[in-house]
Structure 1
Amino acid sequence: MSNPLTSRPTLGQFSSIVCFKAVITGMEEALGEKATSIALIAAGRQRGKNLAKELGLSGASQDLDLIADKLNEAIGANGTHLAAIEKIVAQGDVIKVYCSETICSAGEPQGSDRKCTFTLGAVWGALSEITGKKLRGTHTESVLRGGTNDVFEYTTLT
């Protein structure tokens, strides 16, 4: 993959939320909501796996605070601006990731049923790569539906 900064010397590596959301809504119109969700989660998972490898985190740590810090650095305000990772906590075989300012929730009206599919997938892929575990992810709380954060829950599959 080429370096985005060398291929876009003036515009750099970032695009707008408006354009990203237009990709999502265009895909939903062309493919339907379910197929779009599957595709975006899969794309996110691949991105997350690659990110964890790039960060040298593959199987490297079970310290969830460290994982949260490193992922936030990569995809938060100092990284790609996909979302801010506030914290990651384990509850039995469930890992909960608390995010804010997710790209998918940006600009959506309160009460919207929008899910953070790409971001859910990106964190999912990263956690799978880091922990070496097969996980199932769901978006369980949303800032669009009364939550204080977008919360993703990842359950270990046996």
Structure 2
Amino acid sequence: MLRPILGDFSSITCFKLAIVGMEDALGEKATAIALIAAGRCRGKHLAKELSLTAANLSLDDIASQVGFALGKEGTRLCLINRMEAQGNVIKVYTSETLCSTGEAPGSERKCSYTLGAVWGVLEQTFGKRLQGKHTESVLRGGEYDVFEFTEL
């Protein structure tokens, strides 16, 4: 069923409180696993929607397309500032992530869903299993939330 008045979007406040409620009910670890899996699912679907699957695109092109879809003109999940390869590691620099919204400086919160969404896009685009982790956080003094991905 379509929402003719409200459309496709809901508040970040509601989503964040859903995450907090899941953490209260399931614990932080189980919630993180579920959110990463949900994000990966979203990312894989997004890569298909954007026809990124099996495309021979540069990381700059992928960052541009995914950034548009997830950024200000899209769902507003986060800003993708850039993607780059450093050896066998793909680094994705993000900001204004869903997970950092409303958090106090120094918070230990990780970007589980956002990490998962980017992870799913990259796995679907490159057709490879990757391992992802959140390595830098704006909440803990970083300029960006940085996600790193390596091939398994």
Does the 8 Å contact 1:64/1:89 carry over to 2? yes
RMSD across aligned positions (CA): 0.8
Of residues 42, 46, 49, the one that matches 1:51 is 46
Structure 1: give runs of 5+ residues left out of the alignment.
none
Q: Secondary structure of 1:137's partner?
A: strand
For 2:77, the aligned partner's letter is L
- Number of equivalenced pairs: 152
CA distance in 2, matches of 1:129, 1:85: 17
Q: How does 1:110-129 map to 2 (within 5 A)?
A: 110-129=105-124
Normalising by structure 1, we get a TM-score of 0.94
1:9 alignment counterpart: 4
CA distance in 1, matches of 2:146, 2:57: 20
Structure 2: give runs of 5+ residues left out of the alignment.
none
Does the 8 Å contact 1:96/1:154 carry over to 2? yes
For 1:16, the aligned partner's letter is S
Q: CA deviation at 1:57?
A: 0.4
Normalising by structure 2, we get a TM-score of 0.98
Q: How does 1:49-128 map to 2 (within 5 A)?
A: 49-128=44-123
CA distance in 1, matches of 2:57, 2:17: 37
1:29 alignment counterpart: 24
For 1:132, the aligned partner's letter is G
Percentage of matched positions with identical amino acids: 64
Does the 8 Å contact 1:61/1:67 carry over to 2? no
